[in-house]
Structure 1
Amino acid sequence: MIVVTTPTGQIGGRLVRRLLDRGGAVRVIARDASRLHGSVREQVEIVEGRHDDPAVLDKALSGADALFWLVPPNPSAPSAEQHYLAFARAGAAAVARHRVGHVVAVSSAGHGWPAPAGVLSAAFAMDAELAASGAAYRALSLPFYMENLLGQLDAIVERGVFRLTCAGDRPLALIATRDIAGAAADLLTDLSWSGQESLPVFGPDRLTPDAMAEVIGEELGRPVAYSRMAMDDFAAMLRSGGAGDRAVKERTEMFAAQDAGIYEADWSIATIAATDFRTWCREVLKPAARAEAS
């Protein structure tokens, strides 16, 4: 039995379908089971609730062979570290109680980074907690998600621009969520692995944000440019959206680490995923942009 958290999210939803296609027995932990597609609800066992709740975890992990773990985002959490650790401590204790043999979790690339990295450091702390459960553990260690650009669709469609804090002429490691789900499915359907490791998974490109803008423009058939955002402007934007001082610090530390090359060392050891940026733009961004414009 494979237990999947966040089964209605971009990664968890894709993972559930891949596992079912491979004939796996799947149990999901869902805060709102009504959000599961009807065909999925018919094929999985469902435990409703949050996966930081020990009672929910006890019900879900009974008899489980493996667990897929993803901490759901909570922009209103006063501290990313507290948020990640609250989930991780509940999860690690339940994994140990039920002797779950294998755990695969969504984490960040850059393990071993020597400076504070905000939200990424919170993910590294999560890994340490889950590894301490004693289960065989793989931290899928990931760079910048291509899907993050979907949050800037309006600016891309209406103004022909997207903005990040990193230098436009420095390569940015990327990954598509479909490939995260694929890597997780491969691990969860072949439990011959052991030990505890981080597993970087990167897309095949080494594109700069400037080059990304060129690819986006070619696929959309209109000029698109990249504009670097100053970190102070990014912090001000977060504050204007209601973020507190701790949340602003953690987010700016995360992007500062990204700008400083936190992903660089993992590029040489990463598993290279299938989806290149142009394919993702053609198959995901372009249809979304059409819908946005209509």
Structure 2
Amino acid sequence: MIVVTTPTGSIGNQVIAGLLRSGEPVRVIARDPSRLSSQVSERVEVVRGSHGDADVVGKAFAGADAVFWLVPPDPRATSVEAAYLDFSRPACDAFRSQGVGRVVGVSALGRGVPGNAGNVSASLALDDLIASTGVSYRALTMPSFMDNLLRQTEAIRSQGMIFSPISADLKAPVCATRDIADAAVRLLLDPSWSGSGDVPVLGPEDLSFDDMAQIMSEVLGRPIRPQQVPVEAYRSGLTDHGFSEAMAQAMADMATAKNNGLDNAEPRTPQATTPTTFRQWCEEVLKPAVLA
């Protein structure tokens, strides 16, 4: 039995699709099972509730061989530690008590990089917390996602612009969520590994926002320009959209760390390089969204 958290999220739903193709039995934890497609809900066991709840994870992890773990976003959390570590403590207790064999988690690049990186630092601390339970653990460590640009679909469509607190000329790795899901599925289906470790997922190329805007322009057939947003304006914009002060600051700290080269610290290897190019992603994912 493989348990999947965040089954309706952009990564979780792709993990489920890959697992169902394998024929392995799947159980999901869902706050709102009605959001599951009928194709999924008819083929999985559903435990209703939050995977931050001790009773829910205790029930869901019973008899589980492997768990896909992803902390859901909580923009109103009182602290970044509460959002990542406190949310996950009940699950860590359940990994032990239910004898879960293996856990695959979604994390971030940046281990060993000094300084506070906001959400990234909390994610890396969570990796250490999960590993301390003794469960076999693999942290998928990623740079920024290509799919994050889907949040700017309207700005791309109406203004021909993309906005970021990251310098437009800074080249860094970027990856597609479907490649993250594929990496997770491979690990969840492979019972041969043990211990704890990181699995970088870097994408096939380092790109700046200038590079991405040029590729988007070519794919969409219209000019797209990048615009760097000052970090303080970025932080203020998040609070204007409902983020707590603590979580807005964590996002700003993460952006500052990325702008200082956080995502460039991981050496690129063939094993860490995933197949989906940014151009391919634009053609297959972004363009249909913009034209919709």
Q: What is the TM-score normalised by the length of structure 2?
A: 0.97
Find the aligned partners of 1:242 and 1:68 in 2 and give their Cα distance.
Answer: 28
Q: Relative to structure 2, which stretch is displaced further, 275-284 or 71-80?
A: 71-80
Amino acid across the alignment from 1:249: Q
Find the aligned partners of 2:132 and 2:33 in 1 and give their Cα distance.
Answer: 30
- What SS does structure 1 have at the residue aligned with 2:172? coil
RMSD, aligned CA = 1.1
Find the aligned partners of 2:238 and 2:28 in 1 and give their Cα distance.
Answer: 33
Find the aligned partners of 1:87 and 1:105 in 2 and give their Cα distance.
Answer: 14
Aligned to 1:155: 155
Aligned to 1:193: 193
Point out where structure 1 has 5 or more consecutive residues left out of the alignment.
Answer: none
Figure out how many residues of one structure are paired with residues of the other and give that number. Answer: 291
Aligned to 1:276: 277
What is the CA-CA distance between 1:260 and the residue it aligns to? Answer: 0.6
Contact 1:172 1:209 in 2 (8 A): no
What is the CA-CA distance between 1:242 and the residue it aligns to? Answer: 3.6
Aligned to 1:64: 64
Find the aligned partners of 2:258 and 2:4 in 1 and give their Cα distance.
Answer: 29
Pairwise mapping of residues 1-294 of structure 1 onto structure 2 (< 5 A)? 1-269=1-269, 271-291=272-292
What is the CA-CA distance between 1:110 and the residue it aligns to? Answer: 1.0
- What SS does structure 1 have at the residue aligned with 2:106? strand
Point out where structure 2 has 5 or more consecutive residues left out of the alignment.
Answer: none
Find the aligned partners of 1:248 and 1:12 in 2 and give their Cα distance.
Answer: 24
- What SS does structure 2 have at the residue aligned with 1:8? coil
* Identity level (%): 45
What is the CA-CA distance between 1:223 and the residue it aligns to? Answer: 0.5
Contact 2:204 2:276 in 1 (8 A): yes
1:91-145 superposed Cα distances (whole Å, 9 cap, x missing partner)? 1110000111100000111112210010111111111111111111000001101
What is the CA-CA distance between 1:268 and the residue it aligns to? Answer: 2.5
Amino acid across the alignment from 1:185: V
Amino acid across the alignment from 1:144: S
What is the CA-CA distance between 1:58 and the residue it aligns to? Answer: 1.2
- What SS does structure 2 have at the residue aligned with 1:248? helix
What is the CA-CA distance between 1:205 and the residue it aligns to? Answer: 1.6
1:24-78 superposed Cα distances (whole Å, 9 cap, x missing partner)? 1111111111111111111111111111111111111111100000001111112
Q: Relative to structure 2, which stretch is displaced further, 79-88 or 92-101?
A: 79-88
- What SS does structure 2 have at the residue aligned with 1:268? coil
Find the aligned partners of 1:23 and 1:150 in 2 and give their Cα distance.
Answer: 31
Find the aligned partners of 1:31 and 1:238 in 2 and give their Cα distance.
Answer: 25
Runs of 4+ in 1 over 3 A off after TM superposition: none
- What SS does structure 2 have at the residue aligned with 1:107? strand
Q: What is the TM-score normalised by the length of structure 1?
A: 0.96
Find the aligned partners of 1:203 and 1:86 in 2 and give their Cα distance.
Answer: 31
Contact 1:68 1:103 in 2 (8 A): yes
